[in-house]
Amino acid sequence: MSHGNMNLTLKVWKQKNKNEKGRFETYDAKGISPDMSFLEMFDVINEQLISSGKEPIAFDHDCREGICGMCSMYINGRPHGPKQGITTCQLHMRSFKDGDTIVVEPWRSAAFPVIKDLAVDRSSFDRIMAAGGFVSVNTGNAKDANNILINKDDADGAFNAAACIGCGACVAACKNASAMLFVSAKVSQLALLPQGQVERKSRVLNMVKQMDEEGFGNCTNTGACEAECPKGISLENIARMNREYLGASFT
Amino acid sequence: MSQNSGFLGSSIGKKIIMGATGLFLIAFLVVHCFINALIFFNDGGLTFNVGADFMAHNWLIRAGELVLFAGLILHIVQAFVLTMANKKARPIGYDKIDGTANSKWYSRSMGLLGTLLLIFLIIHLAHFWVKSRFTGLPGEDANGHENLYAVMQETFKMFWVVALYVLAMVSLSYHLMHGFQSAFQTLGLNHKKYTPLIKKAGMWFSILIPVIFSAMPIAMNMGWIK
């Protein structure tokens, strides 16, 4: 942990568009406060780049409070950097030391093409959701909130799965670029609740089919996704998805 | 809904094939290990040869052998197919990967460990299986059973063979260390109460089976069993 401002060297992936090859570029980050977030450091560097007439580094970000999942940065060999259970915006510069060299890369996956620099196109996740990540609800008056009784364990399980923010760190961390933690969280969230029963079988079949079509890899249970997930989504969900898939395929 | 047409072609279908064949091969290891452990009766291989002779001539076992080879080949081919697909899923790799931060090295190296085991397996089959099934064994023991024990004694006289077998068992141990618990997870058998037990059992299995197997060539080479 550092006190006082730090001088760092950044090795950042630069790529004009999805067709260009891309390369690393080195930037000096001078006078970085340990209280800054990792994204704020990028803001500082970009300000400097812009004022000296150079092109800033493109990166995704939105809420900057760890709930939107946009800040996709692969920092020093890990998605969202060296800390567990956080997104990049929640990573603070006090996690680094003065003089460190930090390597920043985009998520690497055939299903996440680079848009520019560190920003990747995660619409493959949207297409997986569109394939089955929904429930049918009749329109009309809103029902009383506690009309349908739900077992506490199931409610908790569904809630924990629903914590997934779709950031794609599981894909980035996986040595096979597999999206199974994401898909299993979305399948589990709805499979555990009574409202999700209508489309239960078609959901898992369609979402897995879409996942395969998008070109994600296959899970080998290394557990890297679970370890790197900022929302602590459990591998139990992948086992549940496998059960759901087996059941849906053969019944 | 009965859309089982795409099951074997899907990512989850392929995983389930890997897990199921893996568990099947684990079951085979148990049988193989316990029959071979009969050499530790240290009776000049008389008890062991009873087992070996039975395994070589019982028609049910011979039919099972075909299923075993089918399972093994399926496991290998499926692993190859999955590895190729996984390579395609990340065409541009990372410059820096901190793998130790989020997973075990042997979980990430199943392909390498499996390849080492395959090389060992080919040598191992040439040592014993080919002789037992095809080229013939050197005579019979005192009880009139085929003398596979004599082949073991002969083979394990060579130091390099013993070293190779022990190293292969180290690979096996790490392959099982991931594979045992991973197979249960893949088949959907994950439970808060039982998964820690499965992991513990898997760890002990991955240590004990290779240790017992390794003890065989070592004991024969050192002359602890005659």
CB atoms under 10 Å from CB of A144, counted, come to 7
Mean pLDDT computed over A1-14: 86
> Structural domain boundaries of chain A?
6-105, 122-250
Flag if A245 and B4 touch (Cβ within 8 Å). no
Radius of gyration of chain B (CA): 20
C-beta of residue A125 within 8 angstroms of C-beta of residue A70: no
A 97-156 residues with CB below 8 A of B? 103, 105, 108-111
More confident position, B183 or B3:
B183
Of A47-61, A204-218, B92-106, B124-138, the range with the lowest mean pLDDT is: B124-138
Contact residues on chain B for A74, CB-CB shorter than 8 A: 94
Indicate if the pLDDT at residue B154 is higher than 90: yes
Q: Which of A197, A193, A201 is nearest to A244 (CA)?
A: A201
- Taking domain A122-250, whether its CATH number is 1.10.1060.10 is answered by yes
d(CA A58, CA A119): 6
In a domain, B2, yes or no: no
Contact residues on chain B for A205, CB-CB shorter than 8 A: 1, 3
Per cent of chain B over pLDDT 90 is 89
pTM: 0.93
Per cent of chain A over pLDDT 90 is 92
Indicate if the pLDDT at residue A59 is higher than 90: yes
CATH of residue B218's domain is 1.20.1300.10
- Could you give the number of structural domains in chain B? 1
Flag if A212 and B82 touch (Cβ within 8 Å). no
Mean pLDDT computed over A211-232: 97
In a domain, B100, yes or no: no
Q: For residue B36, what are the domain limits?
A: 7-89+108-222
The answer to whether residue B13 neighbours chain A at the CB level (below 8 Å) is yes
Residue type, B115: T
Q: What is the pLDDT of residue A146?
A: 83
Predicted confidence band of residue B139 (pLDDT cuts 50, 70, 90): confident
Flag if B3 and A248 touch (Cβ within 8 Å). yes
Mean pLDDT computed over B196-213: 97
In a mutational test of the B interface, the residue from A222, A237, A241 whose CB has the highest number of chain B CBs within 10 Å is A222
Flag if B89 and A176 touch (Cβ within 8 Å). yes
Looking at domain A6-105, its CATH architecture is: Roll (3.10)
| Among chain A residues, CA nearest to B5 | A249
CA of residue A22 relative to chain centroid, distance: 22
CB atoms under 10 Å from CB of A11, counted, come to 16
Mean pLDDT of chain A: 95
The answer to whether residue A28 neighbours chain B at the CB level (below 8 Å) is no
Mean pLDDT computed over A41-49: 96
Per residue in A114-169, pLDDT (tens digit) is 999 999 999 999 999 999 999 988 888 887 878 889 999 999 999 999 999 999 99
Indicate if the pLDDT at residue B4 is higher than 90: no
In a domain, B52, yes or no: yes
In a domain, B95, yes or no: no
Task: Give me the interface pTM, i.e. the ipTM.
Answer: 0.91
Q: What is the pLDDT of residue B11?
A: 95
Flag if B185 and A238 touch (Cβ within 8 Å). yes
